[in-house]
Structures are given as C-alpha cells and as structure tokens.
Amino acid sequence: MAMAAQCAVAQSVYTCVDKNGRRLTADRPIPECIDREQRVLDRTGTERRRMGPTLSENERVEVEAQRRADAEQKARVQEQKRRERALITRYPDEATHQAERVAAMEPFNDLIVLANKRIEQLRADRVSINTELEFYQNDPKKAPTKLQRRIADNEEELADQQRYIAAQQEEKRRVSQRFDAELVQLKLLWAVDHPGPSGAKN
C-alpha cells in the first residue's frame, strides 16, 4: 500500500506561477507557491485537482475567525427573518397592531387612575388635618405627636403615590415607543407582503 501511494505521488506533476511570474513545475508541492494555488497534473498533462495555498498558523487563525464571524452574521440574519415572520403573523394589519397597543396601555391607565384616587383621599385627609392644626396656630411643632405623625405619613404617602404615577407613565412611554418602532417595521413588511398596484408581485 505504501509503495502504491508513493508511486501515485511520483506520477503527479505540480505546476504554478510564483509571485515573480515564473511558471514552475515539480513532482511535489512547490515551496515557492505555498501562498498560491497549485495545479496537480498527471503525466499526460491532464489536471487531476487543484491545491489551495498553504496557510501559516496566523493565517489559519484569521480564516477561522472570519468563518466564525460569517456564521454568526448568517445566524443573526436568519434570526432577524424569523422575528419578522413572527411579527407579521402576529400583526397581519395595522388595526390588529393598534388594538394590542390599546390593550397594552389599559393596565397602566387603570393603575394611574387608582393612584390618583388615593391622592384625592390623601388631600382630603390633609384638609381634615389642617383643620385640627388650626388649634395650634398652624404650627406642626406645637401639635401633639399623634397629629405630627399623621402629617408626616400623609406627606410621605402623597409623595409615594406621585412617584408611582411617574413610574407608570414612564413605563407607558417605553411600551408606546416599542409599538411605534414595531409599526415602522411592520409597514415595511406589509408593503412587501401585500404590495400595491405599482409593486404587485408576479
């Protein structure tokens, strides 16, 4: 077997054009053409195969890094296409998308309404507290500890409710921005999927 392999190698002719433009021929891979393609011929001159450049360790690392980068880019493109298909399946038209936007906003609106009602109660309580405070010339320092505690609790909860409303409004804004971005993308997808007369599909 070993002798047969050696004979096969001996029968091969390697040829290439080196970096100086010289055509070289040998019965084994040509060192001067290690950085370029070499043709492998049989003794009749018929091309049997082509041998690519032999890469250095650094070149192999670069080629592998590029291969990984290409694979990652391909995966990102495929994932983007999958997301686009899922998006247009979920929202086949603008009315469907708008209906979900309204539904997504309802919980935040409900929570804000409840918080505002609590603020109204707190302000009503503060009116009652202020009535009691009049007995102490509207000076909390002169009021009993229990009344001072009511004032502090009222102010603290009022601030909490106002912060809570601000947080809900910020979350509404974030969700609304997401729907806005989706709508821009969807309009492009709908145009491709259902083009008008000027862009009708064949």
In a domain, 2, yes or no: no
Q: Which residue has the tokens 């495929």?
A: 78
The predicted pLDDT at position 10 comes to: 52
In a domain, 129, yes or no: yes
* Tens-digit pLDDT profile for residues 4-61: 444 444 578 999 998 889 999 999 888 888 888 899 998 888 899 888 887 777 777 8
In a domain, 3, yes or no: no
Query: Helix, strand, coil proportions of the chain in percent (round to 5)?
Result: 70, 10, 20
* Tens-digit pLDDT profile for residues 149-199: 999 999 999 999 999 999 999 999 999 999 999 999 999 999 987 665 544
Residues 68 and 109 in one domain: no
Residues 29 and 121 in one domain: no
The predicted pLDDT at position 126 comes to: 94
Q: Say if CB 165 and CB 157 are below 8 A apart.
A: no
* Tens-digit pLDDT profile for residues 112-128: 999 999 999 999 999 99
Residues 100 and 173 in one domain: yes
Residues 13 and 69 in one domain: no
The strand pairing partners of 51, in sequence order, are 38
Residues 99 and 181 in one domain: yes
Which of residues 76 and 139 earns the better pLDDT score? 76
- pLDDT bracket for residue 141 (50, 70, 90): confident
The predicted pLDDT at position 128 comes to: 93
Q: Which residue has the tokens 């195969």?
A: 49
Range of the domain at 85: 56-90
Q: How many domains does the chain have?
A: 3
In a domain, 1, yes or no: no
In a domain, 202, yes or no: no
- Who's near 96: CB < 8 A, 6+ residues apart? 90
Q: Say if CB 172 and CB 97 are below 8 A apart.
A: no
Residues 84 and 33 in one domain: no
pLDDT at 63 over 50: yes
The predicted pLDDT at position 15 comes to: 93
Of 59, 60, 53, give the one whose Cα is nearest residue 19: 53
The predicted pLDDT at position 3 comes to: 41
- Who's near 109: CB < 8 A, 6+ residues apart? 172
The predicted pLDDT at position 195 comes to: 62
Average pLDDT over residues 73-101: 95
Residues 119 and 166 in one domain: yes
Residues 167 and 119 in one domain: yes
The predicted pLDDT at position 6 comes to: 45
